[in-house]
Structures are given as structure tokens and as C-alpha cells.
Amino acid sequence: MAKPPKSRFGRVAHLGAMTGRVGASYVSRRLKGAFQDSELADRALKRLHLDNAEQVVATMGRLKGAAMKVGQSVAVVASTLDLPPEVAAVLGKLHNDVEPLPFDHIREDVERSLEGPLEQHFTWFGDEPVGTASLAQAHGATLPDGTDVVVKVLHRGIENSVGADVSALKTALIGARLLRRPKAELDEIFDEIRLRLEEELDYLQEAANLAEFGRIYSGDPHLRIPRVHPSHSTDRVLTLDRLWGVPVAEFAATASPEARNRAGRTIGEMYYQMVFQHGTLHADPHPGNYLFEPDGTVGLLDFGCVKRFDPWWTADYARTALAALDGDREACLAGCRACGVLIDDDPDAAEALWRYCEILIAPFKAGRFEAGGPSDDLTRPLMEAFGPLMRSRSIRFERTFVYLHRALGGNYALLKTLRAEEDWGALLRAYATHSVAVAEGRAKEGSAPPGLPARS
């Protein structure tokens, strides 16, 4: 199998060839469509969309590294980009499991970064990775003081290709007529993806993120945040305490209902705390970033992708949520305008947006609600209500929402797996109300809100 090109020129050449093929295929399709009836032409165009999506995935997969991560990032924000569902499903084939690098390669990189042999820094260093992803590889190790750690090693040269890979994928998807939002909006969304990916490649920034989250949750008995070991970390190597636990699927299959609810409450409340209380969100809710202990204690991993929010914007978002909870249509739409989503007075757009908000908020008005339970039928109604929003140019998908709702959707998927039951609306109301109070100077920034429902 041919090795992926490592040079910037080689990667750009591969991506340029891909975009050229995709663009040419649509020119050919338009010529043929002129001589076909509309139904046959529509079927052929849909098939071409899928074929070109497969071609994009194949190219990004061959390039590996940043290209794969870019494709994954686009797939998880597919709804924001108005990608057709079948195309989003094809992009979802870009997964994080990649071929491990040889241990000699890892040893060389770690020794170069830490400026000394492995044996000088670790009493044991596993030669088999505990995980290999598109950006890095992780190995278990033991420090001289006996602390079990995980050592993340950034892939060589990966930071040199993120910008080009993001630009190439955007060009390919636009050329393939797979992105149907205004260009200025798409430019902002792809720029947001690029910024978050570049931050994921900065291990000094991730170490600072870990220190911040460690401080925030230092007194929380329900959540574990790994500690960074600065003496064994650089811009390319990150050494962290090793957390122990099982993946969510295994935990959900074996834990008691009480433990599942405790874990669910922690995940749900953590989202509200990060957004409304601290303005600092762990924005990579991949199931692999969570470990679960038997009693429902949650371990949180991978702090490279973190989104920060302006407290005044967050207060507008909180007012919007509170208005939806209260069934106040006009206040909810006013909040959507303040957040930059509803950009004019088109009544059809306003009605479509209110309909979407009504569906989204329904579980939060139901008292105790079991995510993934018999009453949880959100997916189809939300998808149906989302279509009119995507077709409206009076609705703007503001870049702040990209990772905010990525995290919301990922956490909801975890709660469904756990079948966690809680009064989610009471939690939302407490944190959103407190966010507004902070913005209005009636409460101290970072303080905990009053009136939280008791843990079961």
C-alpha cells in the first residue's frame, strides 16, 4: 500500500486532484441531465453526491493525520453545514482507529522531546499503545515515584497540514454542491473547525486546559480530571495521570440503575456548569473520552478541544432557553435574534425556529425524564423540523453554536446509552437563571447556582 504524502506540496496535490475530479463530475452530470427527465436526473444527482462523498472519504483516509481529523470534525457538525444525511453518514466512515506507529518511532520522539532516554524518565513504558488516533498515539507508563500515567505523543509534522486540509475539504464539498449554506456562513464555520483543530495540536494549551478544569472540579467527588505532569510534558508530549474505568457501553450493560443515574446526572450537570457557570466547555464528547467507575463516578479525558464563551452571549443563550421552557414564543425568538440566529423579521423563519425550539425543549418540561426511554422520541421530529431552518436564509448558523451543540448532542447520546433519568429541566432552569443573574450583576461569576435539585 502506498504511503500517504508527508510534504505540504504532496498533500495539496492529492487534495487538489480530488477537488478537480469532483468538480468535473458535476459539469458532466449537468450536461447529461439536460437530456434526461427530471426524476431520472434527480436520482442520478443523488447517486453522484454519494459517489463523490465516498471519493472525499477515500482521499482523506489515504492522507490520514490531519485530513482524517478534519473529515471527522465535519461529519460531527454535519447538521450545521446542511450536509445531506446520506453524505454525512459516508463522512462518518472516517474513524479514529488508525494503524499504530512502531514503538521505535515513539521512543525516538519522546526521547527527543524530553531530552533523555526513556529509562531516565520512566521506570516502565509500554511498547504497545493504549490508543492510536489521527493526531497522536498514547502509551501507558510509570513514573519513578510509582505514578501510573498515560503519555500522549503527537504525530510528526501533523501541525503543518491542518489549514490546507480544512481548505481542501471545504472546496471539495462546495464544489460537489453538498454544502448549501451562504459562503460567508460556511467560511466562519470552517474557520471555527480549523481553530479548534489547531488548538488540539498544542499540548501546552491542552496542559493549561487540564489545569483549569482540574481547578474547577477539584472538589467534585463525582468527576475525575487527570493531572498533568509538567516535568514529563512538552509541546509534543503530554504526560497525564492514568484514569481507570470502563467504557460507557460496558458500564451501561453492567451497572445498577442508581449508578447509571448518578453518572448521567454528572454528565448532564457538567454540561450546564461548563456553559452557564464557567464559560469553558469540553467540546469533544466522543464516547472514548469517558471512563466509568462502578459507583457511577465519571473520568473525563482529552482536553485538546475546548470552547470558551463570552458571558454576555451565554446570558442571551440562557434567556432563550428559559423563554422556551416557559413557552414564551416572543421572548424565545428575541433571544434567538440576540444570539445571532434569527437575522430578520421573516414570519415563516420565525415560526419554523419556534417549532424547532418547542420540540427541543419538550423533554426539559416533562419533569423526570429517561433519556433513551420509551418517551424519548426526539430524533425524527427534530430532523423534520430542522429542514425548514436549513432552507431559510433568515436563519444563520452562528459559529459559536458549532461546538456548543456538538457537545450537547454528544452528551445526549451518552445519556441515552446510560438510560439516565433526571429532572433535566430543573437543572437547566437553575443554571440558566444563574447565568443571567451573573451577567446582570446580581450574582458572582463562577459561583454555584441556588435551587439545584437534590441528587437521587
| Residue 28, pLDDT above cutoff 50 | yes
CB 172 within 8 A of CB 18: yes
Q: What is the CATH number of the domain that holds 119?
A: 3.30.200.20
CA distances from 206 to 13, 169, 359 (A): 32, 26, 36
Distance separating alpha carbons of residues 167 and 396, to the nearest angstrom:
21
The reported pTM is: 0.84
The type of residue at 207 is A
Give pLDDT tens digits for 87-103.
666 666 655 456 788 99
Residue range 122-144: mean pLDDT, rounded: 94
Residue percentage of the chain with pLDDT more than 70 = 77
Q: How many CA atoms lie within 13 A of 378 on its CB side?
A: 20
Could you tell me if 92 and 133 lie in one domain? no
Q: Are residues 51 and 144 in the same domain?
A: no
Q: pLDDT band at 1, cuts 50/70/90?
A: very low
Out of 13-22, 235-244, 261-270, 352-361, pick the least confident.
13-22
Q: pLDDT for 29-68, tens place per residue?
A: 455 555 556 666 666 666 666 676 666 666 665 555 566 6
CA pair distance 411, 416, nearest whole angstrom: 9
Identify the three-state secondary structure at position 117: coil
Query: What is the pLDDT confidence band of residue 81, given thresholds at 50, 70 and 90?
Result: low
Q: Which of 445, 404, 452 is nearest to 216 (CA)?
A: 445
Q: Is the pLDDT of residue 240 over 70?
A: yes
Asked if residue 150 is part of any domain, the answer here is: yes
Residue 292 · residue 222 · CB < 8 Å: no
Please choose, from the candidates 324, 397, 390, the residue with its C-alpha nearest in 3D space to the C-alpha of residue 354.
324
d(CA 203, CA 209): 9
Looking at residue 376, its pLDDT comes to 92
Q: Is the pLDDT of residue 217 over 80?
A: yes
Question: Of 92, 56, 132, 180, which Cα lies nearest the Cα of 288?
Answer: 132
At residue 350, does pLDDT exceed 90?
yes
- Characterise 150 by phi-psi region: left (phi > 0), alpha (psi -120 to 50), beta (else): beta
For cell 444563574, what's the residue? Answer: 434
State the pairing for strand pair 223-224/298-300.
parallel
76 plus 134 within the same structural domain: no
Same domain for 176 and 276, yes or no, is: no
> Coil, strand, or helix at residue 417?
helix
pLDDT for 409-449, tens place per residue?
A: 899 999 999 999 999 999 999 999 999 999 999 999 889 99
CA distance 208 to 194: 20
Q: Could you tell me if 36 and 116 lie in one domain?
A: no
What value does the mean pLDDT take over residues 5-19?
A: 54
Backbone dihedral region for residue 300 (phi beyond 0: left; psi -120 to 50: alpha; all else: beta): beta
Residue 283, helix vs strand vs coil: coil
Q: How many domains does the chain have?
A: 3
Q: Is residue 106 part of a domain?
A: yes
User: Could you tell me if 324 and 360 are in contact, meaning their C-beta atoms sit under 8 angstroms apart?
Assistant: yes
Q: What is the dihedral of CA 448, 449, 450, 451, to 10 degrees?
A: -120
Same structural domain, 136 and 170: no
Same domain, 303 and 177: no
Return the DSSP state at 274: I
**Residue 79 reports pLDDT greater than 60:** no
The band of 158, judged by pLDDT with boundaries at 50, 70 and 90, is: confident
Can you tell me the mean pLDDT for 231-248? 97
Domain-located, residue 87: yes
Same domain for 388 and 448? yes
Judged against a pLDDT cut of 50, whether residue 226 lies above it is answered with yes
- Alpha-carbon distance of 403 to 69, in angstroms, equals 15
Domain termination site, one of 213, 242, 271: 242
User: Looking at the structure, do residues 334 and 394 belong to the same domain, yes or no?
Assistant: yes
Identity at 448, one-letter amino acid code = A
Residues 283 and 312 in one domain: yes
Run of H or E including 28: helix 8-33
Q: How confident is the model at residue 150 (pLDDT cuts 50, 70, 90)?
A: very high
Cell of 200: 488540539
Cα–Cα distance measured from residue 134 to residue 65, given in angstroms and rounded to the nearest whole number: 5
Q: What is the structure's pLDDT at 66?
A: 61
Asked whether residue 196 is assigned to any structural domain, the reply reads yes
Q: Do 368 and 253 lie in a common domain?
A: yes
Residue 1 lies in a domain: no
Domain edge (last residue) among 183, 218, 242:
242
- Last residue within a domain, chosen from 142, 177, 200: 200
> pLDDT grade, residue 11 (50/70/90)?
low
| Mean pLDDT over the full length of the chain | 86
Phi, psi of 113 (to 5 degrees): -70, -40
Residue 3 covered by a domain: no
The cell for 369 is: 425524564
Q: What is the pLDDT of residue 23?
A: 52
Q: What is the mean pLDDT of residues 199-208?
A: 95
Q: Are residues 50 and 146 in the same domain?
A: no
Q: 234 in a domain, yes or no?
A: yes
The pLDDT score that the predictor gives to residue 73 is: 66
Q: Is residue 14 part of a domain?
A: yes
State the residue range of the domain holding 369: 248-456
- CB distance 249 to 416 below 8 Å: no
3-state secondary structure 330-391: HHHHHHHHHCCCECCCCHHHHHHHHHHHHHHHHHHHCCCEECCCCCCCCHHHHHHHHHHHHH
Number of neighbours of residue 373 by Cβ within 10 angstroms: 13
Task: Enumerate residues 6+ apart whose C-beta is below 8 A from 149.
Answer: 140, 141, 142, 143, 229, 232, 239, 240, 241, 242
Confidence bin at 361 (pLDDT 50/70/90): very high
